[in-house]
Amino acid sequence: MKEDFIEKLKPIGIVFGDIGTSPIYTLSTVAIILKQRDPNLIIGALSLVFWLLILIVYLQYVLILMNLSKKGEGGQLILREYVLSLVKNNTFLKNIVSFLGLFGFTAVVSEGIITPAISILSATEGIKLINPLFNNTNLVILLAIVITITLFSIQNKGTDKISFLFTPIMSIWFIFLFLIGVIYIFKFPYILKALNPIYIIELLKGDPKDFLLIISLAFLSVTGVEAMYADIGHLNKKSIAFSWNLVFICLVTNYFGQAAFFIQNYNKITEYNSLLFLMVKDSFPYLYLPTVILTLLATVIAAQAMISAMFSLFYQTSNLNILPRLKYIHTSSYIQHQIYIPFINYLFLLLVIFTIIFFKSSEHLANAYGLSVNLTITISCIMAIIFFIYYKNFIFIFILVLFLLPTNLIILISNFHKITEGAYFPLLVSIILFSLITIYTNGNKKLSKALTYEKFQDFIKKYETLYLNENKIKGIAIFMLKDINLISPYIIKTSFDFKILYEKTLFLSVEITNYPYGLKYTYTSINEDRTNSLSLIKIQAGYLEIVDLVEIFKKLNIEPTIVFYGQENIITNKISTKIYSFLRKISPTIVDFYNFPLPKTIGIVSNIHI
């Protein structure tokens, strides 16, 4: 019983880091605006935060999206694959779903740059109130960069050695949020009026631009909600839903406490500072330094969750063949899907540091943050509508179309102003990444058409004649191919042009399925082969599976002498195809991707004109 309860609390340390650290900056950015207009409007803004948490998190994600999974898996790419399988016979819908799913993925990636930056920067800004000497923007930026470099530098060690600390630390964090919130609610219980959504209308009575601005900032309270959906395969939806109930109580209590503090103390606020830090400084100055340390730990955990998610996402893109393969490294001997991708790690390190230096403060980052998150949530809503139309679930269609989609679209409109205030950066990242995906997938189609494959029946006849009349090299040769029925040009070139023949030849086919998990393989002789020298290993793996070919060979008691693989040297005058060629050249070869010992591998190059 105790173990079950502890297991249910696990998501607190893994899933809710991002949404759990939103109180550091969400209401603070709203408050600095309302102080200059009407501080009492904080009640309407607070009501907006509360009802966004109800509508977006509880209604859209917990009630609807978390029940929309494939073999218990969730997330943007999985949702895309799931809905694509439903609309595969409708070309128009298929193109829309494919576009939305991929753009949603790019929005998640751009969010993955902003999240560590705003989390770490907002926490380090807490040092400003420790001593006037620390009230220096450059010092805050320097500290944030040092923490960022430290965090990214330990990624290759794996997080499994310290991840057991995540849940206890985040639990302390949420308890702290709850307690400090309760104190100020007791001081000013009038703030509980914000539970009534009618106070949101008070915001509407003013300038519509101000209303949209406040909505866009209040929306920051739900950033990180996508993690609830993406992590259901690792932690199961019951545990996530149970933990969210506790997290929700802590977050809401803290937001109400912050609003109560603001109404009573807005005259003391002369510049942007986190309301959370001001609350502690005002009532418990002796606890201020421990609070800053706890906040730093919580934000580092939030950033770590996003970094790990990026590794998993880009591994999925490799398996789904929508971006080039990326070299990955296992970082845990017992957590199979914990991986480290060096290229992504260093790329994101540079992008996060650039973001911190460019925006300089969490206040400015908050202006840039939210649009990409909003795009992801809106796309998920549209995909869910398409899904439930196919399954004729009219109750969910009604909720999505009448309540959630309009809410998402209003928020999206409210976030448009952020484009000129910094949101162009994550939007630009999304557009560049989406363009690379388009170039890569179209390039793959062109390359496939340009390659000349030979039918297996034709190949086997020529191979038998060659095998009987030529000298053989001792050992086992492995040829990588996609489909045994279509023999790749490089195999024909190696066998018939170079006349390289081994005593045993083994064709290896790795098929990535449309399901997240599952790994099976078969090792069979080829019946049509009268030389008894040809065999086939066929591997089928889910796109979240980490395929270790060397380990599979050990289990099959196979010791390859040499591994051949094909490489294409693409010759073209088109700019987009040149970019495609460059992407292929910088990506690891298929044998490197599957960790073959390099001395045993030979790449056969073919010149292809596209």
In tens, the pLDDT along 496-520 reads 988 999 999 999 998 888 677 788 9
Report d(CA 459, CA 450) in Å as an integer: 19
Backbone angles phi, psi at 605, to 5 degrees: -95, 135
DSSP H helical ranges for 219-265: 226-230, 232-235, 237-265
Q: Which of 19-33, 83-97, 121-135, 172-186 reaches the highest mean pLDDT?
A: 172-186
Question: How do residues 484-495 score in pLDDT, each as one tens digit?
Answer: 888 998 999 899
pLDDT, average across residues 327-350:
77
Question: What pLDDT is recorded for position 401?
Answer: 94
Q: Which of 79-88, 124-133, 180-189, 317-326 reaches the highest mean pLDDT?
A: 180-189
User: What average pLDDT is seen over the chain?
Assistant: 88
CA 306 to chain CA mean position, Å: 7
Question: What pLDDT is recorded for position 64?
Answer: 92
Q: Is the pLDDT confidence value at 386 over 60? A: yes
Report d(CA 597, CA 558) in Å as an integer: 14
Quickly count: other Cβ atoms within 10 Å of residue 493's Cβ.
Answer: 16
pLDDT category of residue 5 using cuts at 50, 70 and 90: low
3-state SS assignment for residue 96: helix
Least confident among 65-74, 274-283, 296-305: 65-74
CA 233 to chain CA mean position, Å: 14
pLDDT category of residue 231 using cuts at 50, 70 and 90: confident
Report d(CA 254, CA 248) in Å as an integer: 10
The pTM is what? 0.85
pLDDT category of residue 162 using cuts at 50, 70 and 90: low
Report d(CA 74, CA 237) in Å as an integer: 10
Half-sphere CA count of 214, side-chain side, radius 13 A = 29
Question: What pLDDT is recorded for position 72?
Answer: 63
Report d(CA 545, CA 518) in Å as an integer: 7
Is the CATH number of domain 2-442 1.20.1740.10?
A: yes
- List the beta bridge partners of residue 540: 511, 520
Question: What pLDDT is recorded for position 234?
Answer: 64
Report residue 223 as tokens: 């950033």
Local structure of residue 340 (DSSP, 8 states): E
CB contact at 8 A, 394 and 122: no
- List the beta bridge partners of residue 522: 538
Domain ranges in the chain with CATH number 1.20.1740.10: 2-442
Residues in the chain: 610
- List the beta bridge partners of residue 422: none
Report how far apart, in Å, the C-alpha atoms of 278 and of each of 21, 76, 125, 260, 263 are: 16, 37, 12, 12, 13
Nearest to 182 by CA among 44, 58, 283: 283
CB contact at 8 A, 502 and 473: yes
Local structure of residue 542 (DSSP, 8 states): -
Report d(CA 587, CA 444) in Å as an integer: 14
pLDDT, average across residues 250-259:
97
SS (H, E, C) 102-119: HHHHHHHHHHHHHHHHHH
Q: Is the pLDDT confidence value at 6 over 70? A: no
Question: How do residues 561-609 score in pLDDT, each as one tens digit?
Answer: 999 988 888 888 899 999 999 998 888 887 777 777 767 888 888 888 8
Quickly count: other Cβ atoms within 10 Å of residue 434's Cβ.
Answer: 17
Least confident among 72-76, 462-466, 494-498, 499-503: 72-76
Q: Is the pLDDT confidence value at 1 over 60? A: no
